[in-house]
Amino acid sequence: MDGWCLVIYLIQGGGYLGGYGPFPAPNGGPGFSSLDNVIPGPNGGAQYLNVYSDYNNPEHIFGNFVEANVFQERILTAADIGRFYSFTFDHVTALPQFAPNPTDPNFKETAVCVKVVDPNTLALVHFNTFNTANDNMWTEGSSITGTIDGAWEGYILQFEFLAASTQYAPTGVYYDNVTFVIGAAIPTLSEWGLITMTLLLFIVSVCAMKWGYRNRKIITATI
């Protein structure tokens, strides 16, 4: 998987304890992420991405949450402003012994996210998330969407998968057919007004043509 990285965040209660990374992903083994093929995907793919907490980390023993983030990122430019983004994916929870249990207090979260970070302050200015802890059958075409704000030029956009737990609670979720796109700009209100006016003029002209055509047929029939 080209271009994917991972970082680990350590969380105590609601506070940030520290972290490490980035590292290339997937890395395999008991920490972070791997490519698997245990449950056949919906579109016949040979493999898919499994994202899970870092079970090598002893912070699990101390009751601190260990959050794995597998992501790609890009710098937003002026050309991106006003455009919509879409992060689309298939997903399913892992085999039962490795799947998250949302009722377990030692489980925190598995999710797909889009983040925007201010590079000057590292403040998180946008966080759009999709919970993936509850689907034990392949779910196709899930997505999260949004619009790139005018204040985000030069900011860091990340699209990612995350998994967090403590006390070694399972967090495995499989992902396949992943696509992230930045699409066309969303029209402004003034542009919508111009579009609406153009459509109205088109409708009026079509109606006028139809009326004229019907009228012409009547005249011809009368003659």
- Do 52 and 172 touch, CB atoms closer than 8 A? yes
- Do 75 and 155 touch, CB atoms closer than 8 A? yes
Q: Residue 58's domain is classified under what CATH number?
A: 2.60.120
* 42 and 152 together in one domain: yes
Q: Tell me which of 17-26, 35-44, 110-119, 199-208 is least confident.
A: 199-208
Q: Which amino acid is at 49?
A: L
- DSSP alpha helix (H) spans, the chain: 189-222
pLDDT in tens, 91-128: 999 999 999 999 999 999 999 999 999 999 999 999 99
* 90 and 54 together in one domain: yes
* 169 and 211 together in one domain: no
pTM assigned to the model? 0.80
* 182 and 195 together in one domain: no
pLDDT in tens, 66-95: 999 999 999 999 999 999 999 999 999 999
* 198 and 129 together in one domain: no
Per-residue CA distances from 23 to 11, 69, 94, 175, 191 (Å)? 19, 10, 23, 19, 44
* 49 and 13 together in one domain: yes
Q: Which domain holds residue 175?
A: 5-186
Q: Is 193's pLDDT higher than 80?
A: no
What per-residue confidence (pLDDT) applies to 207? 54
Q: Which residue in this structure is represented by tokens 């680990």?
A: 8
